[in-house]
Amino acid sequence: MKRTAMLLIVLALLTGSKTNAQDNNLNSEVITLMTYNLKFASPSFEPAWEVRRDMQVDMIKKYQPDIIGTQEGLKGQIDYLAKQLPEYEVVGEGRQGGDDDEHMAVFYKRGKFRLRQLNSFALSETPGIIGSGPEVNPRIVTWARFALVNIPARDKNGNYPQDYRGHWEGTREFYVFNTHFFNGPIDTLARLNAAKLIEEKISALKRFGSWAPDRPVFLMGDFNCRPGSKPYNVLVGEGKAGSKGLFKNTFEDKDKIDWILYKGPVKVLNYEVVNYNVNGVFPSDHKPIFTELELVY
């Protein structure tokens, strides 16, 4: 009797584990995101970019984030990181347009995602004009729609099906928004209106009908303000996080101005402020935020 009971328990555990694994494979996907203010290649900042750049490459290789939103990187900085990290594709432009000024770049692993849509808008009264706003230090948002690479299963002969038009039904997509808010005590109104504009832009991406999937949305960047501030409350809401269909914070730290926010079918698995340094020397004046998230479809 004891042996029979033990076998039944083992069998139940194995069956349950298999079912859970199958459910996870079919209905969820784990991705990792990082937001990182690189610190622009300022000649007065120590250590110099020529020293910091390889530290940043080493840190990224250690963490292997699937998607990285960077702020402040000038063209030369972005190009260097892209060359040293060939597994990533990089998109985005400078805040004056094209290669000019600090970039709002998004790095993504080309082997894991397909880029479906890409755009930028200015944080100004004329968001369609990149570079509009203040003459010095205008701000922008880079956003992208990604699809997880999902190759159809091969048949017993090792071939893909010749007709798999229904394959699109398994497509899993999500949005990433990357930004850098205005800084300084006099720009509180600009930050508030930047948050309102971003919420307006993201709200327009709501699914059209029941046949369209509910795509997760991630908003990351250097917001130059803290949780509880008016811009934060526009995005996350006052009181209960994520109320009224707004964003949730992957982890609310009252001292952090770098955030990764999310909305939609997402579960936060891990959050880390990356304390990477070499003998006490940090490669930027910001520490990256790294998150591990489960997309539940």
Give the pair of three-digit tokens for residue 234: 């526009």
Q: Does 281 map to a domain?
A: yes
Q: Is 85 a member of any domain?
A: yes
Question: What CATH number has the domain bearing residue 213?
Answer: 3.60.10.10
In a domain, 205, yes or no: yes
3-state secondary structure of 133: coil
**Is residue 161 included in any domain, yes or no?**
no
Q: On the CB side of 49, how many CA atoms lie within 13 Å of its CA?
A: 17
Amino acid at the residue 209 = G
In this structure, is residue 9 part of a structural domain?
no
CA distance 58 to 85: 10
6 within some domain: no
Threshold 0.85, pTM exceeds: yes
Strand order in the sheet with 266-273: 88-91, 103-109, 67-73, 28-37, 289-296, 266-273
Closest C-alpha to 235, from 186, 183, 179, 187: 179
Total number of domains constituting the chain: 1
Query: Is 22 part of a structural domain of the chain?
Result: no
What was the pLDDT predicted at 270? 98
pLDDT of residue 161: 67
Give the CA radius of gyration of the chain: 22
Residues of the chain with pLDDT under 70: 1-27, 151-153, 160-170, 239-245
Distance CA 66, CA 85 (A): 12
Which residue type is seen at 167?
A: H
Whether 79 is in a domain gets the answer yes
Query: What is the tens place of the pLDDT at every residue in 103-161?
Result: 999 999 999 999 999 999 999 999 999 999 999 999 999 999 999 987 666 777 777 66
Predicted pLDDT at 20? 41
- Residue 100's domain comprises 29-152+172-296
Q: Which residues contact 128 (CB under 8 A, 6 or more apart)?
A: 121, 122
